[in-house]
Amino acid sequence: MKEALLILATDTVASHAETSASFGGLTLRPETLQAIRQLGWDQPTPIQQQGIPIMAGGKDMIGQAETGSGKTGAYGIPIVERLDPASRIVQALILVPTRELALQVADELRVLGRGRRLSVVALFGGHSIIRQMEELRHRPQIAVATPGRLLDHLQRRTVHLGSVAVVVLDEADRMLDMGFLPDVSKILAHTPPSRQTALFSATIPLEIREIAEQRMRTPTWVRIAAPLPTVDSIEQFYLEVAEQDKIRALRRLLRDNGVSSGLVFRRTRFRVDRLARALGRDGEVGVLHGGLREAQRLKALRAFEEKRTRLLIATNVAARGLDLSDVSHVINFDMPEDIETYIHRVGRTARMGRSGTAITFVGQYDIEMFDQLRRRFGEALKRHPLNVYA
């Protein structure tokens, strides 16, 4: 518990809007600066600006940031700076959830480490283990690995982690989702206790917090707020409608209000399914939530993009990070939990300069959140003209 308190005490929050200094101000080696130029990066991103000095100072760190924040550079740059190219043994280990991420991270580290002649191996399942053993015989200093395959190598004694100075757990929340945390613990036991540990994750659920408390030493927590979309070009409406009449209101909107492609948000996957069933089986409705298999998800998205379904009913989580190009209406069937969620949801319409409309249903249980929305958006949030009860 002592460590948990210290984590909170060192918490820093940065926003994407913050202007960053240059890479030159971070006192990096000329070889690294050259590699950064090769990658075409002009300025450090906020997670790089904050994370590089922490990691370069040898401190443990938790980086709470989404994919796309530049987190690979945030740990990759200090790693290539501090490894010893003359020592032909694995000195840095990056654990990642998927093969795709392993390849992507390995590629970026290869570019960053080239000037210092550091060599990188990617170890992941579904690929010849014999080939990977050959690559390991070239004695790379950096290993990027998925947990299952790395354990396999450890059991075969084809890789040795006794000299690892830095461990990174990348996309830790996805490793948790995929059930890799027990493997991660086993792997950490093969590394020296004196190692530096960094953990990157978009969210920090309890299990991840426990890892931080048990496996890290007073980590500094850097949190990068996800960038908020702008809602200026969106027409925002609210519609007062009793909970039990929301379906009727939605049907009226579909009939009278030119909803050509609507994204409808509900709070849970059960509510998503229930609404889809209630709207009938006319094939015009798709669903998106965490209970779907990848193939079902892609099918629902494709049908919506190709306008074969007119409505996509989704949970927040399922819709996170989606880039749907043509959404005419966002309908908050269930009130969002907070302002940030509201902005993320509503920002799904009016992409790329198009105009868009957002309609938020306000039921009898939503008054508190509705007050918050009104305080935040004032006149920009207008009463919708539809009369559900006429």
Binding site for ligand AMP (CB under 6 A): 39, 41, 43-45, 48, 67-73
Taking the least distance from each CB to ligand AMP, the nearer of 43 and 98 is: 43
Taking the least distance from each CB to ligand AMP, the nearer of 21 and 39 is: 39
Closest CA to 16 of 63, 88, 69: 69
Residue type, 362: V
CA-to-CA distance for 18 and 20, rounded, in angstroms?
Answer: 6
Specify whether the CB–CB gap between 148 and 129 falls below 8 A.
no
Taking the least distance from each CB to ligand AMP, the nearer of 168 and 314 is: 168
Give min distance, CB of 104 to ligand AMP, in A: 7
CB neighbour class for 288 (10 Å; exposed up to 12, middle 13-18, buried from 19): buried
Residue type, 314: A
Residue 370, classed as helix, strand or coil, is helix
Specify whether the CB–CB gap between 238 and 381 falls below 8 A.
yes
Give min distance, CB of 36 to ligand AMP, in A: 7
Taking the least distance from each CB to ligand AMP, the nearer of 107 and 135 is: 107
Taking the least distance from each CB to ligand AMP, the nearer of 63 and 286 is: 63
Give min distance, CB of 60 to ligand AMP, in A: 19
Q: Could you tell me the two tokens for 135?
A: 């690559």
Q: Could you tell me the two tokens for 258?
A: 């030119």
Give min distance, CB of 371 to ligand AMP, in A: 36
Taking the least distance from each CB to ligand AMP, the nearer of 98 and 372 is: 98
CA-to-CA distance for 19 and 137, rounded, in angstroms?
Answer: 44
Question: Which phi and psi (to 5°) does residue 299 adopt?
Answer: -65, -45
Give min distance, CB of 71 to ligand AMP, in A: 5
Distance of CA 345 to the CA centre of its chain: 16
Give min distance, CB of 51 to ligand AMP, in A: 11
